[in-house]
């Protein structure tokens, strides 16, 4: 084979690799977002962790600095929405970088409204990644993976609070 043929094969291989790699990245990110949102796979997803809770339960706090379930959901709404706004190329609202404030932003007695809002944001993330360009995946891939991990982390805290207080229904867990 001559050098031109080898160069052509190399470039063809690289082009195919990048295309498949981008598709694989997109599929992996969507899978992780859905696992932290709706799919019972390795761990309990958020939509199962927050099912069948009363207002009293979502506002319960222990005697330490730990957050309530409502505060954890508020925090997830704040960060998922903020980063989604930026992902779409818009400027998020002003924020003074005091993370503790994010645990109170949306906490109210409208628990069903909070859950609905977080669910809508998570669906918007899944759709955004599904429709993302290769350039967006390259730029935002790490942040999107961190969002899924962050959601799973706080979901674990919610499940822990429920189990600690005997509010957990084992049928909601991963079998």
Encode the chain (175 residues) as per-residue pLDDT tens digits.
Answer: 555 443 443 444 444 444 557 789 999 999 999 999 999 988 999 999 999 999 999 999 998 989 999 999 999 999 999 999 999 999 999 999 999 999 987 777 789 999 999 999 999 999 999 999 999 999 999 999 999 999 999 999 999 999 999 999 999 887 6
Check residue 10 and give its pLDDT.
Answer: 43
Specify the residue for token string 């918007």.
124
Q: How far is CA 133 from CA 25, 33, 66, 87, 111, in A?
A: 11, 17, 39, 11, 35
Give the Cα separation of 71 and 99 in Å (integer): 12
Q: Residues 45-68: pLDDT tens digits?
A: 999 999 999 999 999 999 898 999
Q: Are 40 and 48 in contact (CB under 8 A)?
A: yes
Angstrom distance (rounded) from CA 14 to CA 125 = 29
Structure confidence at residue 20 (pLDDT): 57
Angstrom distance (rounded) from CA 134 to CA 92 = 23
Whether residue 87 contacts residue 136, with contact meaning beta carbons closer than 8 Å, is answered with yes
CATH fold label, 25-172 = 1.20.120
The Cα-based distances of 83 to 71, 101, 109 in angstroms read 18, 16, 25
């Amino acid at each position: 084979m001559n050098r031109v043929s080898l160069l052509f094969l190399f470039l063809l291989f690289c082009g195919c690799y990048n295309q498949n790699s981008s598709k694989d990245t997109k599929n992996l990110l969507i899978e992780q977002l859905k696992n932290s949102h709706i799919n019972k796979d390795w761990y309990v997803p958020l939509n199962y962790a927050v099912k069948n809770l009363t207002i009293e339960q979502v506002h319960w706090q222990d005697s330490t600095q730990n957050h309530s379930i409502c505060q954890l959901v508020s925090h997830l709404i704040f960060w998922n929405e903020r980063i989604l706004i930026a992902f779409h190329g818009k400027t998020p609202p002003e924020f003074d970088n005091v993370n503790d404030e994010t645990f109170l932003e949306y906490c109210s007695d409208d628990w069903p409204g909070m859950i609905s809002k977080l669910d809508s944001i998570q669906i918007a993330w899944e759709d955004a990644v599904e429709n993302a360009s290769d350039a967006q995946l390259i730029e935002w891939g790490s942040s999107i993976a961190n969002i899924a991990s962050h959601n799973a982390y706080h979901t674990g805290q919610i499940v822990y609070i429920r189990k600690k207080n005997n509010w957990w229904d084992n049928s909601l867990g991963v079998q």
